[in-house]
């Protein structure tokens, strides 16, 4: 082989395959390090380092690559179907089940074959064989044994501040290849306790379909707000989420009385047993629905109200995200939440307002109503930057790092190029 041919082959190999979330093909030396345009300290997600090797027959048979161009290489990404099993609670009234349902639907729009193996009550043994087993981890609802040869990726929905022993047990028992968390603080905790790769992918958010298509008056009339004693001119806040003793309803009620706003509290019961009995009474300013709303009802109530308020009790020994907040943050209304570990992922002032006591809550309610358009836009911008479609593509980037797809790519190349 001539020196010129060797140089040409080397150049072709260097431009071989790395696919980002939009399936672009980048030369290896120009692979972007981050998805986010923010500074490294502010990044909410990372593109993993490239891991795919060039198949051996391509390295040896330079004539095959010589007959290909980068546009043909990009087609190979669409021919490689990664098979992923999401292991999670599913099909029940549970935050992790809801998260998995949204992620599954978004992933299946990509070139991925994804299915779910649900956790079933009283069933402790599961067998999975796929390219990737993606475990949705939450304390208290995990099976005791999983039999699998798959590479395992774990998303932690709650992070203990002292995870070392648990991680050691997990990694000694299973073929853990990486972890996913939703924000920087969680990554820092894991980084100090494991050598496995850790990827930050934000919790997905929903864009309310009524934003820019309806008016509050129309939706309030559709929901018959008058039966709750709420007129079109009344200011009201929506308190969305499961019933829980960890939610400070009494503080929100007290703040609503002082500010003159009305409250609509959904308060559906959790099916995994995380429910404390609530003693809430409907009154002139408090409407306690006490039920699990349909998706359309969630969209309508969150859009028809003026504020979205989340007040959780602080837990200093763990970090987590609020699925309820992400479900309604794209409703075109200001978000107000307590300054606790549940809301570390949503930045204060640029996306929401936060408080630590009732005095601050009262001030933040007044500020949100005064600057409603400004803080509505900020919340909606945050939702648009963390949609499930964006989140699914970021997951796909991680899956590609740990799926054994070299052999599949080799087969596709042989089928496309031999005989050309």
Least reliable range by pLDDT among 5-19, 78-92, 274-288: 5-19
DSSP 105-143: HHHTTSSEEEEEEE--TT--EEEE-SSEEEEEE-TTS--
State how far the Cα of 274 lies from the Cα of 139, in Å rounded to an integer. 12
State how far the Cα of 105 lies from the Cα of 232, in Å rounded to an integer. 36
Residue (of 395, 398, 403) closest to 100 by Cα position: 395
Provide mean pLDDT across the span 56-79. Answer: 36
State how far the Cα of 374 lies from the Cα of 372, in Å rounded to an integer. 5
State how far the Cα of 87 lies from the Cα of 134, in Å rounded to an integer. 6
Question: Taking all residues of the chain, what is their mean pLDDT, rounded to a whole number?
Answer: 78
Quick: pLDDT tens for 383-400.
999 999 999 999 999 998
Quick: pLDDT tens for 154-191.
999 999 999 999 999 999 988 999 999 999 999 999 99
State how far the Cα of 152 lies from the Cα of 177, in Å rounded to an integer. 6
Strands 158-160 and 318-320: antiparallel
Domains of the chain: 13-204+387-410 (3.40.50), 216-385 (3.40.50.2000)
State how far the Cα of 221 lies from the Cα of 176, in Å rounded to an integer. 52
Provide CB contacts within 8 A for 16, sequence distance 6+.
Answer: 28, 54, 58, 65, 73
> 3-class SS at 239?
strand
pLDDT at 112: 76
The separation between CA 418 and the C-alpha centre of its own chain, rounded to angstroms, equals 42
H helix intervals, 271-387: 295-304, 323-328, 358-370, 372-385
pLDDT at 124: 58
Provide CB contacts within 8 A for 367, sequence distance 6+.
Answer: 353, 375
């Amino acid at each position: 082989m001539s020196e010129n041919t060797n140089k040409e082959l080397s150049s072709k190999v260097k431009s071989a395959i790395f696919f980002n979330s939009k399936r672009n093909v980048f030369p290896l030396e120009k692979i972007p390090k981050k998805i986010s345009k923010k500074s490294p300290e502010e990044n909410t997600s990372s593109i993993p380092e490239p891991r795919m090797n060039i198949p051996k027959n391509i390295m040896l048979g330079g004539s095959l690559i010589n007959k290909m161009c980068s546009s043909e290489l990009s087609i190979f990404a669409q021919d490689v179907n990664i098979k992923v099993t999401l292991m999670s609670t599913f099909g029940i009234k549970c935050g992790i089940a809801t998260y998995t349902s949204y992620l599954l639907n978004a992933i299946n729009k990509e070139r991925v074959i994804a299915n779910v193996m649900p956790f079933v009550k009283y069933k402790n043994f599961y067998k999975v064989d796929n390219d990737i087993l993606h475990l949705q981890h939450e304390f208290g609802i995990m099976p005791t044994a999983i039999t699998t040869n798959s590479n395992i990726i774990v998303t932690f929905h709650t992070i203990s501040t002292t995870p070392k022993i648990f991680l050691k047990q997990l990694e000694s028992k299973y073929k853990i290849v990486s972890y996913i968390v939703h924000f920087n603080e969680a990554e820092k905790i894991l980084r100090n306790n494991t050598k496995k790769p850790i990827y930050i992918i934000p919790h997905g958010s929903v864009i309310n379909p009524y934003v820019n298509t309806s008016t509050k008056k129309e939706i309030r009339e559709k929901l018959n707000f008058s039966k709750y004693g709420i007129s079109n001119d009344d200011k009201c806040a929506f308190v969305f989420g499961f019933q829980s003793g960890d939610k400070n309803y009494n503080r929100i009620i007290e703040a609503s009385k002082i500010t003159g706003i009305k409250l609509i509290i959904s308060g559906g019961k959790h099916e995994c047993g995380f429910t404390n009995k609530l003693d809430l009474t409907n009154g002139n300013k408090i409407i306690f629905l006490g039920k699990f709303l349909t998706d359309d009802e969630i969209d309508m109530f969150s859009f028809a109200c003026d504020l979205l308020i989340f007040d959780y009790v602080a837990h200093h020994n763990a970090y987590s995200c609020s699925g309820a907040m992400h479900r309604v943050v794209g409703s075109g209304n200001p978000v107000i939440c307590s300054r606790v570990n549940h809301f570390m992922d949503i930045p204060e002032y640029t996306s929401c307002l936060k408080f630590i006591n009732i005095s601050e809550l009262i001030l933040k309610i007044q500020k949100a109503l005064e600057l409603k358009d400004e803080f509505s836009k900020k919340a909606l911008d945050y939702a648009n930057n963390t949609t499930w479609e964006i989140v699914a593509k970021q997951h796909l980037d991680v899956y590609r790092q740990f799926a054994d797809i070299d052999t599949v790519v080799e087969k596709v190349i042989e089928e496309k190029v031999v005989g050309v």
